[in-house]
Structure 1
Amino acid sequence: MVGKGGMPASFDIKAHRMMPLRVDKVGDMIFATFSDEAPDLRSFLGPAMCRAIERIFVRPTKVIGRVAQRIEANWKLYAENSRDSYHGGLLHLFYTTFGLWRPAQDSKAEIDEVYGSHNSFQIRKPQQAEDAEKHKEETARPLDAMTLLDPTLLELRQDIGDDISLSIQSIFPSVVLQQIGQALAVRHMIVREPGAMDLVWTYFGFQDDEEEMTRHRLRAINMGGPAGYVSLEDGEAVEICTDGIKGPDGHSLILMDIEKAENPTVPMGLDENAVRGFWKGYLKLMRAGEGQ
C-alpha cells in the first residue's frame, strides 16, 4: 500500500507459477495429469475405451446439471461397484421391475488389458415388442405389480445412432461415463480420506437437442445421482461393505487372483474380470516405483 510492501523488483513471477498440468481430450471429455511420465492419453485409455467415449460424444455437448454426494466409503469399493456387472440385477430392483435389465438381453463387456478400464453395455431395440411372459419368468416379478405415473421416464430414443440402451464405462482410476437410456452423465470420484469420498455427477446432453429432448433427459436423470431410482443403492451398498470388511483391528485381507483378469468370453454379468482388471491396473501403478 502506498508504494510499500509486495515483492521486490527482482521477483520473477514466471519462476513461481503453479504446477502445470498436461491436458488432452477424447470427444468432449477433458483429462489432465500432473505427471510428466504418464503416457499420452490415448495410449493410457487404449483403443476400445477411446471408441466407447467417442460413441457417447458423437456431437457437441452441453451441461444440463450437476450434483455431488459424500459417500462414507473407500473409493476403491465404488470403483469395484461400477465394474461389478453381477449387482445390476441383484441390487437395483428398479432395473428388473421395469425391464431395464433382463438376463436374456444382448450384452457385452470390454476390458482394457493395461490399466483395467472397463465398458459394459446392453442392447434393447425399441422396435422389438417386449415378451411379458418371458419377463415374468426371468424376474419372478409380474409386470403389473408396479407401474409409473409417468412411463415416459423409461422411453428409449435412438439419439446416438445405435440400439445400446445402457452403457457403464469405468475409466481408470476414478471416472465413470454412463448412458442409462437418455440419461448421460460423468461421475468423478474425489478422495477425501481412506473412508470417505465425494462423487460428483455432471449431466449433459447435446447442443442440438430440442427443448423436449432436454426435458426428457432431465426426467431420465432421476434414475441416477444421490437419490436416483437406480443409483441410490450404490452409495449405501459401498458404505455397508466398508463397515462389513473391517476386522477386529479395523483391517481385513481379501485375496483375488488378478492374473485371471481377461476379456470375458461370456455375456456381461457372469464373471468378475472387470473387478480383477481394476486391481491389476491399480497394483501395476502402485508397484511402479518399487521396480516390480
Structure 2
Amino acid sequence: FIWGCNPLQLLLPFPLVFGLFLFIYLVCITGNMLIILIITSDAHLQTPMYFFLSNLSFIDICFISTTVPKMLVNIQTQNKSITYEGCLAQMYFFMFFSGLDSLLLTVMAYDRFVAICHPLHYMIVMSPHLCVSLLLLSCLICLAYSLLQTLMFLRVSFCKKTEIPHYFCELAQIFKLACSDTYANDVLLYCVTGLLGIIPLSGILFSYSKIINSIVGISSARGKYKAFSTCGSHLSVVSLFYGTGLGVYLTSQMSYKSREGSIASVMYTVVTPMLNPFIYSLRNKDLNQALRRFFHSIGDRFR
C-alpha cells in the first residue's frame, strides 16, 4: 500500500531545492547540537532556564528530522512515495514533537515569570525536581495525544495510491483524502489541537502580562533593560513558532492544493527550528559569553 507524496512545489529546480533544504537541515542540527553541548558543559549555565533551552534544542532537532530527511531522499531518488506505515510513523512523531515544542515554550514562560516576578524564591520554586516533573508531564501529555490521534487514524480507510499534495504526511491534509467518514477524527483533531494551542498560548500571554507589570514597576532603566533582556529571546521564539503555526492553520482551511499552505508549513516545520539557535545565541548575553569561552578553550587546545 503505497502513497504518492509530492515534495514542496516551489518554482525552483529539484537540485536547488535539495541543496537548500539540506543546508537548512545541517544548520539546524549543528546549531542546536552546539547549544546543547555548551549548556551541558558550562557550569555557569546550570540553571532551570538553560535546562529547558537545551531540551528545546533537542526537540527542535527531532521535530525537523520527522519531515526533512524523508523529503530529501524523495527528491534525490525522484521516488515520491511513502508507505502507509511510514506515513503513520511520521504523523505520530510530528504531532508529538510539535505539541512538546508548544508545551515547553509555555514552561519556559512560567520560568521567566518566576525569575522576574518572584526572584527571591526562584531557586526554591524552580527546583530540579519541579523542572524534571514539568518536562515529563509535557512528554506524557503529548504522548497520550499523539497515540490517541494515531489510533483514531487507523479506523480511516483510503483508496490505493492516494496522492498527498504536500511534502510530508500532515494529519489535517490526509483526512481530506480519506474514502471513509472522518467526522470523529476531525472533531478530535481540532478540539485537541485547539486545546494544545490555546491553553499554552494563554499561559504564555498571562505570564508575560505579569512580567510586564513587574518590569514597569522597576525604577531604574538599567534594571528594566536587564529584566526584559532575559525574555527577549523567548518572546522572539514564541512569536515565530505561533505566528507560523497560525499561518499553517489558516491556510489549511483553504483548498489542500494551495501552494501557500505548503510554504506556510515550510516556515513552521523547517525554518523555525533552524532560526531558534540563532535567536538565542544572538540575543542572550550569558549564552554569548559561554560560546566565547567554548571556542577559546578549543583554540587553546590547538595552540
TM-score, normalised by the number of residues in structure 2? 0.28
Structure in which a larger fraction of residues adopt helix: 2
Higher normalized contact order (CA 8 Å, seq sep 6+, divided by chain length): 2
Structure in which a larger fraction of residues adopt strand: 1
TM-score, normalised by the number of residues in structure 1? 0.29
